């Protein structure tokens, strides 16, 4: 009998296939004591396992490229964390085996982060994955992972670690469903980059019986268990219609009455550029530069290395707009040479622009490298700072850009409610705003973007979040300046229409989402988008906001 479940759709498309479950987690190693004379040998085993796992994660990242590479390199740094390793060795010194020492040290760190409510608590799935890989290597057992199957299937998991998601084969994994995670989790972002339909935060997903046929709608978040023939046909027809519409849609982003809304790509490095160009991106709305700094957490990359990487991206978009975010270090992206290791709450501490202002030499080198990379190229370079809180921050960044001789537009990211509420003040110092809706939602609702239990508060349809977007867009319009969205909200085609109606002037997203957004936007007038935006803001819940906007845009 057909039943319907609902999670959070995070990657467009429909997948119909049999359920296959992710391998079970590594078993807890036995708590047995070792003689004191064996401690040094066990400590050596632990160090070797850690280095092997870190090397494997980096190798996986090199294979995956792009955003996945940056994510996996961050995981490798997590594995090699010196404080964690010191704790492992202390536990072994008092009698634990290598595997037990690793297990307990990671458990303590996990509990500490979760209990403190830190931003890093959102990386629990990543932390667990690193622990499991190290323990599995020490125990000499296979690492649990993606099922071995010759036939395509829908993957079910409690959560997916980036190391698994990054190397999924779309020819075999038709789609995936997880019990945990949120719309801005690493797995969700990588799923969109792969173009694999995905639904997260589905309670009871693990109870789906192996081999059961399910249909996954990554747009609506609906899961149909044992779908009827009619349901399968309707879903397949809808998917085919969407595919045909995508194929027919091309050119710059615009509403049906010609209001231009440039559609830009989010990229994590040069490896993401080909997909963005193929999708018809009109430029880059968010060029994350962290990938360069993750290669070596002990020191910043040289100016020459930065120039080379930046130029590869800038060259791909002649006459296009490329918006570069300077290094966003801290919180979930700690760097040994920049970020303090003893902050009680890194998400609310020294991160983003605050980190760079504490290390002006690092900021100046990056700005100088960007200036040199753009020399002689017919590209519209724009540079923005992450985590801007107020006008003082904006002025400090603009001054740094001018001092470095950067000939580009300077902008500020709106990720903190204070920046949205005082956007007009900030725009006295910079030339554009870019809304990072992922972090803006996190700070607005005090809801960690990686924790499935609070995923409803991470829903970008939340009316309070739409209010902050509107405030920013209205301030930019009043100042005659631009206000784009580069957060994951822009990848939702329906929400893209609402954002346009709120006054947002450009939308930036993963390359795979661009055709969906372009096609949907082209079906509606600016006036319809404005009415949909007003209806969404008048609602009290995210679900009601979506329904209200849908009703307006469908003419109901």
Q: Which of 401, 486, 497, 529 is catalytic?
A: 486
Whether the CB-CB separation of 182 and 450 falls below 8 Å is answered with yes
Helix (H, G, I), strand (E, B) or coil at 13: coil
| 23 and 158 Cβ atoms separated by less than 8 Å | no
Token digits for 84? 């964690």
486 is an active site residue: yes
> Residue 530: which of 556, 499, 487 has the closest Cα?
499
Check the CA dihedral 511-325-301-81 and report its sign. Answer: negative
Handedness of CA 352, 358, 359, 364 (dihedral sign): positive
Rounded Cα distance between 56 and 34, Å, is 29
Question: 12, 186, 359, 524: which is the annotated catalytic residue?
Answer: 186
Answer whether 123's CB lies under 8 Å from 450's CB.
Answer: yes
Report yes or no: 249 and 522 within 8 Å, Cβ to Cβ: yes
Q: What is the DSSP string of 222-249?
A: EEEES--HHHHHHHHHHHHHHHHHHHH-
Cβ neighbours of residue 330 under 8 Å, at least 6 residues apart?
338, 339, 346, 349, 350, 351, 352, 354, 355
Active site (annotated) includes residue 186: yes
Name the residue among 442, 444, 439 with its Cα closest to residue 421: 444
Which pair of tokens denotes residue 416?
């903190």
Decide: 351 and 339 in contact? Cβ < 8 Å: yes
Active centre residues (catalytic): 186, 486
């Amino acid at each position: 009998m057909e039943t319907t479940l609902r999670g959070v759709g995070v990657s467009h498309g429909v997948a119909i296939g049999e359920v296959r479950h992710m391998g079970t987690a590594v078993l807890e190693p036995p708590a047995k004591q070792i003689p004191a004379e064996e401690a040094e040998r066990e400590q050596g085993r632990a160090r070797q396992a850690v280095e092997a796992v870190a090397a494997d994660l980096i190798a996986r990242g090199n294979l995956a490229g792009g955003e996945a590479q940056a994510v996996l390199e961050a995981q490798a740094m997590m594995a090699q964390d010196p404080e964690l390793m010191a704790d492992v060795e202390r536990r072994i010194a008092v009698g634990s085996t290598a595997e037990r020492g690793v297990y307990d040290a990671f458990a303590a760190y996990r509990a500490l982060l979760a209990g403190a409510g830190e931003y890093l608590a959102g990386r629990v799935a990543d932390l667990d994955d690193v622990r499991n890989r190290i323990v599995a290597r020490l125990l000499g057992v296979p690492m649990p992972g993606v099922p071995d199957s010759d036939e395509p299937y829908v993957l079910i998991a409690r959560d997916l670690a980036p190391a698994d998601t990054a190397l999924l084969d779309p020819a075999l994994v038709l789609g995936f469903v997880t019990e945990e995670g949120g719309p801005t989790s690493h797995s969700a972002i990588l799923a969109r980059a792969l173009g694999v339909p995905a639904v997260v935060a589905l309670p009871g997903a693990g109870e789906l019986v192996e081999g059961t046929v399910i249909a996954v709608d990554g747009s609506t978040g609906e899961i149909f268990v044992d779908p009827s023939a009619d349901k399968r046909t309707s879903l397949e027809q809808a998917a085919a219609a969407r595919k045909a519409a995508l194929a027919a849609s091309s050119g710059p982003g615009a509403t049906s009455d010609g209001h231009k809304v440039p559609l830009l790509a989010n990229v994590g490095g040069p490896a993401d550029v080909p997909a963005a160009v193929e999708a018809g991106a009109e430029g880059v709305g968010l060029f994350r530069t962290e990938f360069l700094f993750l290669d070596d957490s002990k020191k910043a990359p040289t100016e020459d290395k930065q120039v080379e990487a930046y130029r590869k991206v800038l060259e791909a978009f002649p006459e296009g707009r490329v918006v570069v975010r300077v290094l966003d270090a801290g919180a979930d992206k700690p760097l040994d040479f920049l970020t303090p290791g003893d902050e009680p709450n890194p998400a609310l501490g020294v991160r983003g622009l605050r980190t760079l202002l504490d290390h002006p030499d690092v900021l100046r080198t990056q700005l100088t490298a960007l200036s040199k990379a753009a020399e002689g190229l017919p590209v519209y370079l724009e540079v923005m700072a992450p985590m801007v809180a107020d006008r003082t921050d904006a002025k400090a960044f603009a001054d740094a850009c001018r001092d470095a001789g950067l000939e580009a537009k300077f902008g500020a990211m709106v990720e903190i409610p204070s920046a949205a509420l005082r956007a007009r003040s900030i725009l006295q110092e910079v030339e554009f705003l870019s809304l990072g809706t992922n972090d803006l939602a996190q700070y607005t609702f005090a809801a960690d973007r990686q924790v499935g239990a609070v995923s409803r508060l991470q829903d970008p349809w939340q009316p309070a979040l739409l209010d902050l977007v509107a405030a920013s867009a209205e301030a930019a319009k009043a100042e005659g300046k631009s206000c784009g969205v580069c957060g994951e909200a822009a990848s939702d085609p329906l929400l893209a229409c609402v954002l346009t109606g709120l006054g947002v002037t450009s939308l930036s997203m993963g390359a795979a989402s661009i055709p969906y957004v372009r096609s949907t936007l082209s079906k509606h007038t600016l006036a319809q988008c404005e009415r949909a935006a007003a209806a969404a803001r008048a609602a009290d819940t995210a679900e009601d906001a979506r329904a209200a906007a849908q009703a307006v845009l469908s003419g109901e």
